[in-house]
Amino acid sequence: MRILIWHVHGGWTDAFVQGGHEYLLPTEPGRGPWGLGRGGRDWPANAIEVVPGTLRDEPVDLVVLQRLGELERAEQLLGRRLGRDVPAVFLEHNTPKPEAVTTRHPFADRDDIPIVHVTHFNELVWDNGDAPTTVIEHGIRDPGHRYTGSIERMAVVVNEPVRRWRITGSDLLPRFARAGGIDVFGMGVEELPGALGLGAEGIAPLGNLSSQALHGALAERRLYLHLARWTSLGLSLLEAMHLGLPVVALQTTEAARAVPPGAGFLSTDVDELVAAARLLLEDPDAAHRLGAAARDAARERYGLDRFLRDWDTLFADLIERSRRTGRRIAVEMPAGLTIGRSNDAHRHGL
């Protein structure tokens, strides 16, 4: 298949383009949000940069939407109606805002473009109306078991922690700093010590690293700290688990599903979590043991092969639906994949 998708979430797209299709990535000279292309990523050759103005002449079998403005833009570029002339899905990465459980999804009133949620929590809390929905959980390219825990500090990965503040749990960091040092990675983290009134010994901002450099840095820290109150599910948490880090996390949103017993500590009692962080900092053997369990759990639930199979099953369902409604799509499916209906797709009427 030839799939049109904008480069919006690099970490998620990194897994998606590992499949057996051609992925068309709109590219503009300024490499802005509507034309980032590959964005310098080390992606396979089947992740192809395309000039938006040429898409009307390109065969496109399916469109993956991730932002509201992409629907109109894609239809203008292709000269075709999505959901009627070309199958499409809306991929929902985020939890609803502003209201936690009463916010209606923008695609809730459409029955021709399914909503794909990246977590079961997302599907639960969004008001999806009568729109067909399914869940395809995250997939991660396995970075390998690299954990050493040699640096007796906690690791946090978060973008814009000062602007997002309580959403990302930034206000909780001083309480954990009493247990030990915290190294924070991500965009805008340099603002954090000043906002918290703490020195670098307690909370050190270490910048926005490349994926490879970040994996190496995380693997050296004793534990991964996940303090998001309201989030879909951070890919950095899953990457840390793949690396073999034990987790200390708020028992909120999807974290309770992602981090099973024995892989770390989850609670809504912050004092309990601070004590757990102190235990892991002081007991490297326990940290290694829980980290190994975290890696096993992450590989089982969030492995790349499962992720790509789930997407191929959804693609097959959409093709079958298009054929039933008389819209023929010329596609080549990956070898060995049969046209069938997944349980989720069947349940939601795809």
> Which CATH number does the domain housing residue 281 bear?
3.40.50.2000
Instruction: Indicate whether 255 belongs to any domain.
Output: yes
Please list the residues that pair with 90 across neighbouring strands. 65, 115
Q: What is the DSSP letter of 292?
A: H
**Peptide bond before 98: cis, by omega within 30 degrees of 0?**
yes
pLDDT < 70 positions in the chain: 199-200, 325-350
List the structure tokens of 29.
Answer: 């000279």
Q: Is 13 exposed, middle or buried (0-12, 13-18, 19+ CB in 10 A)?
A: buried
Asked whether residue 72 falls in the same domain as residue 205, the answer is no
250-277 pLDDT tens trace: 999 999 999 999 999 999 999 999 999 9
Query: Are 60 and 75 contacting, i.e. CB atoms less than 8 angstroms apart?
Result: no
Asked whether residue 79 falls in the same domain as residue 118, the answer is yes
> How many Cβ atoms from other residues are within 10 Å of residue 305's Cβ?
9
Asked whether residue 75 falls in the same domain as residue 104, the answer is yes
Asked whether residue 95 falls in the same domain as residue 211, the answer is no
Query: Are 203 and 155 contacting, i.e. CB atoms less than 8 angstroms apart?
Result: no
Asked whether residue 117 falls in the same domain as residue 19, the answer is yes
Strands 221-226 and 203-205 come out as unpaired
Report the percentage of the chain scoring pLDDT > 90.
87
Asked whether residue 158 falls in the same domain as residue 213, the answer is yes
Instruction: Indicate whether 58 belongs to any domain.
Output: yes
Q: Which domain holds residue 209?
A: 151-301
Q: Which residue has the tokens 């096993």?
A: 296
Instruction: Indicate whether 36 belongs to any domain.
Output: yes
Q: Name which of 275, 269, 110, 86 is nearest 179 in CA terms.
A: 275
Angle between helices 284-301 and 270-282 (to 10 degrees): 110
Can you tell me the distance from the alpha carbon of 88 to that of 251, in angstroms, rounded to the nearest whole number? 34
Query: Are 19 and 311 contacting, i.e. CB atoms less than 8 angstroms apart?
Result: yes
Instruction: Indicate whether 109 belongs to any domain.
Output: yes
Backbone angles phi, psi at 195, to 5 degrees: -65, -30
Asked whether residue 248 falls in the same domain as residue 210, the answer is yes
126-175 pLDDT tens trace: 999 999 999 999 999 999 999 999 999 999 999 999 999 999 999 999 99
Structural domain ending residue among the three candidates 280, 301, 322: 301
Residue 10 sits in a domain whose CATH number is 3.40.50
How far is Cα of residue 186 from the mean position of the Cα atoms in its chain?
Answer: 15
Residues 6+ apart with CB under 8 A from 152: 180, 181, 222, 281
Asked whether residue 237 falls in the same domain as residue 332, the answer is no
Asked whether residue 50 falls in the same domain as residue 155, the answer is no
Asked whether residue 120 falls in the same domain as residue 25, the answer is yes
Asked whether residue 295 falls in the same domain as residue 329, the answer is no
- Return the ∠ at Cα 236 (arms to 234 and 238), rounded to 5°: 85
Q: Is 60 exposed, middle or buried (0-12, 13-18, 19+ CB in 10 A)?
A: buried
Can you tell me the distance from the alpha carbon of 2 to that of 19, in angstroms, rounded to the nearest whole number? 11
Instruction: Indicate whether 145 belongs to any domain.
Output: no
Please list the residues that pair with 89 across neighbouring strands. 64
Given this model, what pLDDT does residue 200 score? 65
Q: Name which of 105, 125, 124 is nearest 115 in CA terms.
A: 105
Instruction: Indicate whether 146 belongs to any domain.
Output: no
Q: Name which of 267, 320, 328 is nearest 114 in CA terms.
A: 320
Strands 47-50 and 264-267 come out as unpaired
Instruction: Tally the domains of the chain.
Output: 2
Instruction: Indicate whether 285 belongs to any domain.
Output: yes
Asked whether residue 132 falls in the same domain as residue 172, the answer is no
Q: Which helix (H) or strand (E) holds 225?
A: strand 221-226
Helix (H, G, I), strand (E, B), or coil: what is residue 140? strand
Can you tell me the distance from the alpha carbon of 62 to that of 90, in angstroms, rounded to the nearest whole number? 11
Can you tell me the distance from the alpha carbon of 154 to that of 280, in angstroms, rounded to the nearest whole number? 10
Given this model, what pLDDT does residue 122 score? 97
In angstroms, the Cα distances linking 48 to 27, 78, 130 are: 9, 17, 35
Given this model, what pLDDT does residue 36 score? 95
Instruction: Indicate whether 124 belongs to any domain.
Output: yes
